[in-house]
Homo-oligomer: A and B are copies of this chain.
Amino acid sequence: MGPVSAPTVYDVAERSGVSIATVSRVYRNPDSVRAQTREKVMEAARELGYVPSGSARGLASRTTGVLGLCFPDYADPDAESAAAASDADDDQAVMLYSDQIIRGMERAARRHGYALLIAASLDGGPESLVAKVAGRVDGFAVLARTVPTADLEVISRRLPVVMLAGPREIDHLDHIVVANTEGERELTRHLIEDHGLRRLAFVGAEEESPDAQARFRGFQEACRDAGLPVPSRPEVRAGMMTQAEGALAADALLDRSEGTGVERPEAMLFANDQMAVGALQALERRGVRVPEDIAVTGFDGIPLSRLVRPPLTTVRQPIRRLGEQAVELLVQRLADPGRAPVSLELPVSVTRRASCGCG
């Protein structure tokens, strides 16, 4: 039958003829209760269908055993049928990214005995989802730009918060980024030095994406180091870092050179893999060969990047590690709330595949 009014410690205590303290001990520290008593209690609990109330425990013990994650979900949660039915490509970028963080955090959390509470951020009144999460966890991670800084300011005074993959908006928070700039610089250097390419076009994204910005900086640095002209802004800016936008960007770049006398770029460097994959498709449609006619690169190292034809040269980003590290930082800070704020930069690595002309 369905759930009935929930039994409490008192019910179990009464049924097994002990006090509530003993019932509590059986669950929190079984060894502190004589085996015989423990059995009595556990049997009564089984018979009654007793499950300890997490809320009551949390209240009494002042800890929840749960860590949280707030991430953005660009997809409209109401557009379910369309998205689910077609597994819309446009979703994949964000999805893969946050999914991997979730998985990384879940694993690391489990190692430390925590469960994971996740919520895509949503703007709202004083009762935003963020506040809800914040009240139910011992600490949590926030993907950049998902929670208003003002809210974070308040919340971070009450519990540990670690900021992921973005600018450090609040300087007393722990903070993790990946080496976007270094990675793109190294990738660009590879194209220039090892493949002798000169006319490079960087495809960025909306200005607000700090990742895309940092990667563009790396691109600039490599150009400068090589003595090439240093563009002050990306050649093209996509709106959403999706496959569709990547295809559009590639088309735009080619159109630009076909009509006019401008020479076609020798390489397109995309701010992420999704766009690069879309570009590969667009190029194939136009009969432009990769890498013979033009080199293409991405950034992130998502699984797709290895499976497309040609396999995509990219910069592998340890996304899952990002989630794991977030948990580690949270756990460490819970153990030592007083320590100085930590800022980590996770290393990335250039993955050379066929799309740039490598093996």
- 1/0 per residue, CB under 8 A from B, across A78-116: the answer is 101001110100001001000100111011101100011
Bound Cα distance from A110 to B339, whole angstroms: 35
The A104-137 residues at the B interface (CB cut-off 8 A) are: 104, 106-108, 110-111, 115-120, 122, 125-127, 129, 131-137
- Whether A26 lies near B324 (C-beta < 8 A) is no
Residues of B within 8 A of A158 (CB): 3-4, 6-7, 49-51
A10 interface residue, CB < 8 Å from B?
Answer: no
Bound Cα distance from A253 to B64, whole angstroms: 51
- Whether A136 lies near B338 (C-beta < 8 A) is no
Contact status of A132 and B117, CB under 8 A, knowing A75-B107, A84-B104, A158-B6: no
Interface residues on chain A, number (Cβ under 8 Å): 87
- 1/0 per residue, CB under 8 A from B, across A129-168: the answer is 1011111110000000000000000111111100000000
- Partner among B6, B7, B51, B337 whose Cβ is within 8 Å of the Cβ of A2: B337
- Whether A87 lies near B27 (C-beta < 8 A) is no
Bound Cα distance from A127 to B26, whole angstroms: 10
Question: Which residue in chain B gives the minimum CB-CB distance to A118?
Answer: B116
The A19-74 residues at the B interface (CB cut-off 8 A) are: 26-28, 30, 42, 45-46, 49-59, 64-66, 73
Residues of B within 8 A of A66 (CB): 117, 136
- Partner among B28, B64, B75 whose Cβ is within 8 Å of the Cβ of A55: B64
Question: Which residue in chain B gives the minimum CB-CB distance to A172?
Answer: B1
| Copies of this chain, tallied across the complex | 2
Question: Which residue in chain B gives the minimum CB-CB distance to A46?
Answer: B154
Bound Cα distance from A304 to B89, whole angstroms: 12
Contact status of A51 and B1, CB under 8 A, knowing A64-B136, A110-B119, A320-B84: no
- Whether A55 lies near B136 (C-beta < 8 A) is yes
Not counting A54-B137, A87-B301, A110-B119, a sample of 8 additional A-B residue pairs whose C-beta atoms are within 8 angstroms of each other reads A1-B172, A2-B337, A50-B154, A56-B59, A80-B111, A83-B320, A115-B136, A303-B304
A-B contact pairs, 8 of them (CB 8 A): A51-B131, A52-B135, A54-B55, A55-B58, A55-B136, A58-B58, A92-B303, A99-B102
A→B interface (CB under 8 Å) = 1-4, 6-7, 26-28, 30, 42, 45-46, 49-59, 64-66, 73, 75, 77-78, 80, 83-85, 87, 92, 95, 99, 102-104, 106-108, 110-111, 115-120, 122, 125-127, 129, 131-137, 154-160, 172, 301, 303-304, 307-309, 318, 320-321, 324, 333, 337-339
